[in-house]
Structure 1
């Protein structure tokens, strides 16, 4: 199975510890799909700074193909994170050079992959219908349920993924039903510790969460998507694919950052103790 993650990448900068980790939805799905046994690639724009080095080095270490990465002069995308009472709080962020568009040649190459995954956080929202003309498309909406583009994209999706930790059972049912009605082949709602639910034309399937030694939940939802996609496209039943996905997500929770590979934040970028830039 060949999976492509296309669009966003980032370094998550943990200001409390002075460490940054590579990540971004498309990157994380590509990495965890590779760990699940798929051939995996990432396409996107990476900066020429130290953060860009961290992203590329980690992808290569994870054996994700980066031949489609474009190195662009400038700063890589980043998100600043602090931990308050055990919870991650996102502070400043910057998209850097990450705005990414597909060329005509890129679209033609999509047919080499069994599925391409992208997300609300990237720049390929409007490209999804054309992408779906070349291969299966997986899209992570996160908790952007009400965005106007949701209805436009659903008819083109192999997998429509939502984060529904803040939804009650009735709202989850409505989200699943609406996704199927509008044409998505699989509709997923992950709910953190409450597990996940998957709707298909064959019915609805529930997956409880898997016990994990939680170090950091960053990237766990992306890992779930990767496990589900690799299972479904390998011919597993929805039940087996969901079990694979839950175990993959539990593994993601056991490492710091989305998938490890820590690097020190360059000293000039660390905040001054009084909150000023040094």
Structure 2
């Protein structure tokens, strides 16, 4: 089981760290790219829900990496441990069919990394760390859980050989289960908490979401909205819910807020906004400068180095952002 979380001052907002993948989601039909990636999106939505949030990861020194960094700073998500290295930022290509996103390809770019012992030890200062199947840290979940609470997004990868062994380490286990009927999703959640997770969540698209702690069950209907782009809706739900559960809020109210955040994420393109023109050179173009990103707020914090990765955990095959 995860180590006890650090105790902050009474009334202080929860401290939520997203760590792992980042991408730009490329929309060729729109001529735009948007910042994203599971760990980035969850950190942004936890911040919007009132948490103190930061992101750790590796971005490229191209225009795409700059788009990710500027958007995080504009959202007030800490970037002090974001490392920028020479090479292309990770990307995923997205198409839209009736408002639903379809992934057409992806590349990890320079995003793969792992945590060394010194980095792991700094995690004790966070109330919860969120990562996902789409990053490179699944193999380090037990090490992270020895320092603080861990949230992990499995998407639909719960049958992978490495997946079940993570359950006992988790504060929140999140699954994308729109392809499952209610009984099958319930069995998945029941097994997950029986194996040690504190909370287990299944998001089921238009069928809503289910959350359990093993004793009680909460069902949340999907909020009604006119969907322009469903990309990022699941991450918006998870980030909003995670901030509330970490703060000790009532699960029913937490789920309602998460559903509203997910619905709002469907009303515009990209995971959380900040579209920028696609570079004519392609996804690996290096284009220094700061123009072209539409931001809601100004930068909050400068980027600094993340020490070099020490090792790599199991990496299930995926396009970045699948089922986000």
Q: Does structure 1 conserve the Cα–Cα contact (< 8 Å) formed by 2:99 and 2:230?
A: no
Partners in 2 of 1:145 and 1:196 — Cα distance?
17
Q: Does residue 1:260 correspond to 2:276, yes or no?
A: no
* Counterpart for residue 297 of structure 2: none
Partners in 1 of 2:212 and 2:172 — Cα distance?
10
1:92-138 Cα deviation digits (max 9, x unpaired): 21100000211212111111110000000000000000100111000
* Counterpart for residue 33 of structure 2: 20
Partners in 2 of 1:213 and 1:86 — Cα distance?
9
Partners in 1 of 2:81 and 2:154 — Cα distance?
24
Partners in 2 of 1:69 and 1:259 — Cα distance?
19
Which residue of 176, 183, 193 corresponds with 1:180?
193
Aligned length: 270
1:196-244 Cα deviation digits (max 9, x unpaired): 0011033111001111232211111011011111111222111111111
* Counterpart for residue 170 of structure 1: 183
Which residue of 109, 113, 132 corresponds with 1:96?
109
Higher relative contact order (CA 8 A, sep 6+): 2
* Counterpart for residue 132 of structure 1: 145
Q: Report the secondary structure of 1:63's partner residue.
A: coil
Q: Does structure 1 conserve the Cα–Cα contact (< 8 Å) formed by 2:192 and 2:200?
A: yes
* Counterpart for residue 202 of structure 2: 189
Q: Does residue 1:32 correspond to 2:32, yes or no?
A: no
* Counterpart for residue 244 of structure 1: 257
* Counterpart for residue 224 of structure 1: 237
- Note the residue ranges of structure 1 that are not aligned, 5 or more in a row: 271-278
* Counterpart for residue 21 of structure 2: 8
Deviation at residue 85 of structure 1 after TM alignment: 4.3
Deviation at residue 40 of structure 1 after TM alignment: 0.4
Matches within 5 A, 1:101-120: 101-120=114-133
Deviation at residue 84 of structure 1 after TM alignment: 3.4
Task: Kindly indicate which of the two structures has a greater share of residues assigned to helix.
Answer: 1
Q: Report the secondary structure of 1:59's partner residue.
A: helix
Partners in 2 of 1:43 and 1:33 — Cα distance?
15
1:169-207 Cα deviation digits (max 9, x unpaired): 221111011101111010000001100001103311100
Query: Compared with structure 1, are the counterparts of its residues 131 and 253 closer, same or farther at alpha carbon in structure 2 (3 Å cutoff)?
Result: same
* Counterpart for residue 212 of structure 2: 199
Q: Report the secondary structure of 1:67's partner residue.
A: coil
* Counterpart for residue 273 of structure 1: none
Partners in 2 of 1:87 and 1:246 — Cα distance?
17
Q: Report the secondary structure of 1:257's partner residue.
A: coil
Partners in 1 of 2:96 and 2:61 — Cα distance?
28
TM-score of the superposed pair, with normalisation by structure 2: 0.81
Partners in 1 of 2:242 and 2:218 — Cα distance?
15
* Counterpart for residue 274 of structure 1: none
